[in-house]
Amino acid sequence: MTNSGGGGVAASSFVSSTFRRLYAGEVILAAALVAWRIGDRSFWLDEAYTWSTVDRSAPSLISLTAREEAYQILHQLLLWPWARISTDEWWLRLPSAVAFVACVALVVAIGRRWFDPAVGLVAGALLALSGFAISLGQEARSYPFAMLFATAAVGAFVDANRNPSPRAQNRWIVLAALAVWMHGFAVFAIVAPVAVLGCFAPWSEQLPRWRRSLVRVACAVAVPLLLPLVQTDSGQVYSFVEDLSLRSVADVVFSVLGRSGAPAVVLGFASLLALGRLRAADGARAERAALWAVVAGPPVALGVASVVQPVLLDRYLVTVLPSLCLLIADLVVAFRVEQVRRAAIAVVVVAAAVGAVRWERGGPLEDWRGATRLLAERAAADDALVFSTDEGRIGVEYYVRPGSATARLATDGPEPAWPEGPWGGFRTGDQVPESLPDAVVRGLAAAGPARLWLVVAKSPRGTESRLVASFDGYAIASRHEFEGITVVLLHRGDTPQQ
């Protein structure tokens, strides 16, 4: 279905062949940007968790998912056979990159179908150039898949209401279920447009016909929604998330809008202006209402939940981004004066491109590769090695796996004193998470190894100084900072430094 409003003047300049060439160009651009240096950045801890979850036997994966890791079930099942081929960073990240590119193509198609070709192309360009979306497309996590399926589900829901049929409703049910099985928080992007469009006549009059479909969706997503609640220790799982505040909200908005000042200001301002398009009398009000529901619903839901338990993270809002791109594109294409329209399109696209460039120049979220390289080069077999939290060990475990460039740490370096056990024997499911116990600190200080390596990550501010002070008789020999990680070498006061 193609609506006549929302930029019909611009639509006339796009002949079919030109649209196809530009469409293909945007898909190629998205593929090139997400593939560029896809394996260069170090895994951060969440990606190491992904590897540690899927690099095991199928029965072990199923058991772990049922007991502790039910947050991204479908992604884990998808990646398990994929990891049988290789566990290199670029290979484990490749499915996410494909999902990102597919979502760009989908956004162009939805924009063309709901508004006109120009809206689709501008929206696709904004998503393809989003530093936030590209960064998630280069992570071995489920977020790009959740974004893809949630966007497809919203499109299917609106289309099914425009052209009702059992087949259309079944398509929505399948896509909604896929989104939630990829990540449970995608449910907010599924529920929001249903709730909003249920208030629109004649859409509200169709809700009785949807009751059976709504029940089927609820049944289909019950497992990925309820199982994590049974598994979650609310006092620990989200301890790394900031408490809800104006600062934390601003940080999340800044990140979603491109992780850079210029894109955040320009795209944020354009988003506010796009609210005015809800009143446009062009036959696409329901489509805009559905998109705004997706943009507003998940942040509001996570914000309310964060009053009790902080869960407001930028990556949990990735499902918002495609809808936001469509709304901004609908705004800038709607300007009637040709020169104004072109200038507005150029401003938002260039702002997004600036964000992509600045993101590309940045480093990894956490540099476990660099930290492990240091340990492999300098740690001796008779040294002691401890982590500030047990989960931090999983980041190093990935980089000491057999065949890796730093595997010598597992063969020639020290075995971790805490969490204790040989290298290769500590995986997802073994962490609590737990901080370095005082009893271990006292035991190591009493045992008196000449040198002690302390890896500090995923810990509250001040943890490093507290732990260093707690090792009686030791002093700092050297301190090495990596992105998100600090490695401290301590030596006994009566031992010459090496």
User: What pLDDT does 11 receive?
Assistant: 43
User: What pLDDT does 258 receive?
Assistant: 82
- H or E element at residue 485: strand 485-492
- H or E element at residue 476: strand 474-482
Domain boundaries, the chain: 8-360, 368-492
Orientation of helix 166-182 relative to helix 187-197, angle to 10°: 140
User: What pLDDT does 77 receive?
Assistant: 97
- Dihedral (CA of 252, 255, 256, 261) sign: positive
User: What pLDDT does 265 receive?
Assistant: 87
User: What pLDDT does 236 receive?
Assistant: 47
Number of DSSP helices (H) and strands (E) in the chain, helices first: 23, 4
Orientation of helix 73-83 relative to helix 222-231, angle to 10°: 90
C-alpha dihedral over 159, 164, 166, 170, to 10 degrees?
A: 20
User: What pLDDT does 162 receive?
Assistant: 83
Map tokens 């095991």 to a residue. 56
User: What pLDDT does 16 receive?
Assistant: 81
User: What pLDDT does 234 receive?
Assistant: 42
Phi and psi, residue 482, nearest 5°:
-125, 165
> In whole angstroms, what is the distance from residue 207 CA to residue 172 CA?
14
Map tokens 């079919």 to a residue. 16
Q: Mark the ranges of the chain whose per-residue pLDDT is less than 50.
A: 1-2, 4-7, 9-12, 14, 234-239, 496-497
User: What pLDDT does 6 receive?
Assistant: 46
> In whole angstroms, what is the distance from residue 455 CA to residue 436 CA?
11
Q: Report pLDDT digits (tens) over 340-368.
A: 999 999 999 999 999 899 888 888 999 99
**Strand order from edge to edge, sheet including 474-482:** 384-387, 451-457, 485-492, 474-482
SS (H, E, C) the chain: CCCCCCCHHHHCCCCHHHHHHHHHHHHHHHHHHHHCCCCCCCCCHHHHHHHHHHCCCHHHHHHHHHHCCCCCHHHHHHHHHHHCCCCCHHHHHHHHHHHHHHHHHHHHHHHHHHCCHHHHHHHHHHHHCCHHHHHHHCCCCCHHHHHHHHHHHHHHHHHHHHCCCHHHHHHHHHHHHHHHHHCHHHHHHHHHHHHHHCCCCCHHHHHHHHHHHHHHHHHHCHHHHHHHHHHCCCCCCCCCCCCCCHHHHHHHHHHHCCCCHHHHHHHHHHHHHHHHHHHCCCCCHHHHHHHHHHHHHHHHHHHHHHHHCCCCCHHHHHHHHHHHHHHHHHHHHCCCCHHHHHHHHHHHHHHHHHHHHHHHCCCCCCCHHHHHHHHHHHCCCCCEEEECECCHHHHHHHHCCCCCCCCHHHHHCCCCCECCCCCCCCCCCCCCCCECCHHHHHHHHHHCCCEEEEEEECCCCCHHHHHHHHCCCEEEEEEEEECCEEEEEEEECCCCCC
C-alpha dihedral over 74, 76, 81, 85, to 10 degrees?
A: 140
Structure tokens at 343: 């200038």
CA atoms within a 13 Å half-sphere pointing along the CA-CB vector of 326: 35
* Contact criterion met (CB below 8 Å) for 136 and 319: no
DSSP state of 328: H
> In whole angstroms, what is the distance from residue 268 CA to residue 498 CA?
53
Residues 6+ apart with CB under 8 A from 358: 131, 259, 260
Q: Report pLDDT digits (tens) over 35-61.
A: 999 999 999 999 999 999 999 999 999
* Contact criterion met (CB below 8 Å) for 482 and 367: yes
| DSSP β-bridge partners for residue 160 | none
The Cβ of residue 95 has, within 10 Å, a number of other Cβ atoms equal to 18
> In whole angstroms, what is the distance from residue 71 CA to residue 181 CA?
8
User: What pLDDT does 377 receive?
Assistant: 96
Nearest CA among 167, 227, 164, 221 for reference residue 197: 164
The Cβ of residue 446 has, within 10 Å, a number of other Cβ atoms equal to 9
User: What pLDDT does 241 receive?
Assistant: 61
